[in-house]
Amino acid sequence: METLSNIIPYFRKELTPIFEEREVISWAYLSIEHVLGYNRSDCIIHPNKRIEAKISDKFQQIIADLKTRKPLQYILGETTFYGLKLKVNEYTLIPRPETEELVAWILQEDFKSALDIGTGSGCIAIALAKFSNASISAIDISQNCLKVAQENAILNSVKVVFIQQDILQTKTLPKVNLIVSNPPYVLNSEKEKMQENVLAYEPHSALFVTDKNPLIFYKQIANLATESLTSGGKLFFEINEQFANELIVILTQSGFVDIELKKDINDRDRMIKAIWK
C-alpha cells in the first residue's frame, strides 16, 4: 500500500474471498477515515497520497482482525449512532439501526425528563440528550459500560446522569416523563442462529435471556414504571418480535393504555410504546 489509491484494492484482495464485496469496500472507507481522517471524496481527490510504512501496518492489522470476524466497530473502537460518534468496546453492544429507529420515534414526543434502562454505550440516552431539551438519566449494571457511556457523553458534549444499578434488584425509580429500554431479549436457544462475529465478540449478558423467562426485564421495568412515570408518561421498548402480543398483554394488565407496536425498516414488530394512565 504505497499510495491512498492502493488501500481499497488491497482490502478487496484480502477480504472478498471471505466477505461480500460491498461490505469490504465499506469497511475500507471507514478504516481510511479512522486512520487518515480522509472521507470518500478525499480519496478521489488525493489518490496519490503516500502511505507511510507504519500507516500501512495499521491497515494490515485491521484486515488481520477482520479475518477473525471481529466487528470493525470493535477494531476501530468507535461507531456512529444517530449521526453521533460513539466509543465502543467488548463491554458494550454495537448499536443497531433498529435502535436508531426507536430514538427517532421517541424524539417525536414531548418530554422534560427521561430514563434509559440498560444504557450500554449510552447511545439512546446521549442521542436523546443531544436532540431534545429533556433532562436525561441512565442506568446500567456494568461499571465498564458506564465508563464508556460517560466518555461518550463528554465526546458529544451532552449531560447525562449515569447510575450503576441492577434493574432486577431495583425497588424504585425516579419520577420521569419517559422511560426507554432496549434490554436483553434474544433467547438462549436462538444463539445457533446468530452470526459468528456476534457470538464471539459481543457481550452475551446484554443480548441473551433464558427461554424459561424471556420477558423478565420487560416485566420488571413495566412494574417499576407504574410508580415512576408521571401521569401520561410514556414507556418505550425495543422488543423481540415473537413476544409482541405477550408483551401487550403484560402492559395492559399493568394498567398501561394506548399501546402501539411499530415495525422497523425490515417490516418486523421491533418497538412498542405504552402510556401510563
Per residue in 168-179, pLDDT (tens digit) is: 999 999 999 999
Decide which of 201 and 223 is more confident. Answer: 223
End-to-end CA distance of the chain: 62
Decide which of 204 and 134 is more confident. Answer: 134
Q: Answer whether residue 130 shows pLDDT above 90.
A: yes
The pLDDT value recorded for residue 190 is 85
> Please, which pLDDT band fits residue 73 given cuts at 50, 70 and 90?
very high
Q: Answer whether residue 1 shows pLDDT above 70.
A: no
User: 160-164 and 135-140: which strand pairing?
Assistant: parallel
> Please, which pLDDT band fits residue 2 given cuts at 50, 70 and 90?
confident
Give the burial string for 125-136 (b: 16+ CB within 10 Å, else e).
bbbbbbbbebbb
The pLDDT value recorded for residue 238 is 97
Of 114-118, 160-164, 189-193, the one with minimum mean pLDDT is 189-193
The pLDDT value recorded for residue 192 is 78
User: Tens digits of per-residue pLDDT, 208-241?
Assistant: 888 888 999 999 999 999 999 999 999 999 999 9
The pLDDT value recorded for residue 213 is 87
Of 1-10, 103-112, 149-158, 192-201, the one with minimum mean pLDDT is 192-201
Task: Please choose, from the candidates 171, 194, 174, 177, the residue with its C-alpha nearest in 3D space to the C-alpha of residue 240.
Answer: 194
Decide which of 258 and 205 is more confident. Answer: 258
Q: What is the mean pLDDT of the chain?
A: 95
Q: Answer whether residue 38 shows pLDDT above 70.
A: yes
Q: Answer whether residue 59 shows pLDDT above 80.
A: yes
pLDDT > 70 fraction of the chain, expressed in percent and rounded: 100
| AA identity, residue 277 | K
Burial of 90 from C-beta contacts in 10 A (0-12 / 13-18 / 19+): exposed
Burial of 123 from C-beta contacts in 10 A (0-12 / 13-18 / 19+): buried
